[in-house]
Structure 1
Amino acid sequence: MKGAHVVYSEKLSISEAQKLVLLSQWLPAKYQKGKAHDATLSAIEHLGYVQIDTISVVQRAHHHTLWNRNRRYLPEHIDQLTQQRAIFEYWAHAAAYLPMRDYRFSLFRKQAFKEGRLRHWYNHDRALMEQVLERIREEGPLMAKDFSGASNNSKGWGSKPTKQALECLFMQGDLMVSERRNFHKVYDLTERVIPIDTDVSVPSEQEYARFLVTQYLRANGLGRVSEMTYLLKGLKTAVCGVIDDMLEEQTLVTIEVEGHHYVACLGAIDQLKRPISRTKAVILSPFDNCLIQRQRLKMLFNFDYLLECYVPKEKRQFGYFCLPILWAGELVARADCKVNKATATLEVLHLALEPKLVEKAAFMEAIEQELQQFARFNACDTFKIIRVTP
Structure 2
Amino acid sequence: MHHLSRADARRLAVRAQLLAAPRPTDLFDVVRHLTAVQNDPAAHVARSADLVLWGRLGNGYDPADLRDALDEQALLELHGMIHVPADLALYRAEMAQWPGEHDHRGLAVWVEANTGCRLDILARLRADGPLTAAELPDTCVVSWRSSGWSDNRNVGRMLGALVHRGEVAAAGWRGRERLWDLADRIYPDEVVPLEEARRIRAERRLRALGIMRGTDAGDPAVVEGVRGQWRVDPVILDQKFRGGTVLLSPLDGLVYDRKRMADLFEFDYQLEMFKPAAKRRWGYWALPILHGDRLIGKLDAAAEHREGELRVTAIHEDTPFPKPVRAAVHREIQALATWLHLEPVLP
Q: Could you state the TM-score of these two structures normalised by the residue count of structure 2?
A: 0.89
CA contact (8 A) 2:72 2:172 kept: no
Indicate the SS of the match to 1:78: helix
C-alpha spacing 1:290/1:167, structure 2 compared with 1 (3 Å): same
- SS of residue in 1 equivalent to 2:57: coil
CA displacement, residues 175-216 of structure 1 (integer Å, 9 cap, x when unaligned): 111112334310001122235xx3124x233x1331232112
Matching of residue 184 in structure 1 with residue 177 in structure 2: yes
RMSD: 2.5
Q: Aligned partners of 2:267 and 2:152: how far apart in 1?
A: 37
Structure 1's unaligned 5+ residue stretches are 1-8, 229-242, 247-251
1:1-390 correspondence runs (5 A): 9-28=1-20, 30-32=22-24, 39-71=26-58, 72-91=60-79, 95-113=80-98, 117-119=102-104, 123-124=110-111, 125-147=114-136, 155-156=148-149, 159-195=152-188, 198-201=189-192, 203-205=193-195, 207-225=196-214, 228=215, 243=216, 252-258=218-224, 259-260=226-227, 261-271=229-239, 274-277=240-243, 280-355=244-319, 357-359=320-322, 361-380=323-342, 382-386=343-347
Identify the range of structure 1 (281-290 vs 106-115) with the bigger mean alpha-carbon deviation.
106-115
- Seen in structure 2, the aligned counterparts of structure 1 residues 140 and 107 have a Cα distance that, compared at 3 Å, is same
Alpha-carbon distance in 2 for matches of 1:220, 1:115: 27
Residue type of the alignment partner of 1:127: G
Contact 1:86 1:101 in 2 (8 A): no
State the Cα distance separating 1:156 from its structure 2 match.
2.4
Structure 2 spans left out of the alignment, 5+ residues: none
Shift of residue 20 of structure 1? 0.8
Describe the SS at the equivalent of 1:113.
coil
**Total equivalences in the alignment:** 336
Which whole-Å deviations, capped at 9, do the CAs of 1:82-127 have from their partners, x for residues lacking one?
3554321113xxx200121211111243224256854078542332
Taking the aligned partners of 1:338 and 1:275, their CA distance within structure 2 comes to: 32
How big is the shift at 1:30?
Answer: 3.1
Aligned amino acid, residue 96 of structure 2: Q
Matched-pair identity in %: 25
8 Å CA contact 1:30–1:70 kept in 2: the answer is: no
What is the letter of the counterpart of residue 268 of structure 1? I
The answer to whether the 8 A contact 1:253-1:264 is kept is: yes
Change over 3 Å in CA distance of 1:20–1:115 after alignment to 2:
closer
CA distance in 2, matches of 1:151, 1:376: 46
**Conserved? CA contact 1:223–1:263, under 8 Å:** yes
Contact 1:29–1:68 (8 Å) recurs in 2: no
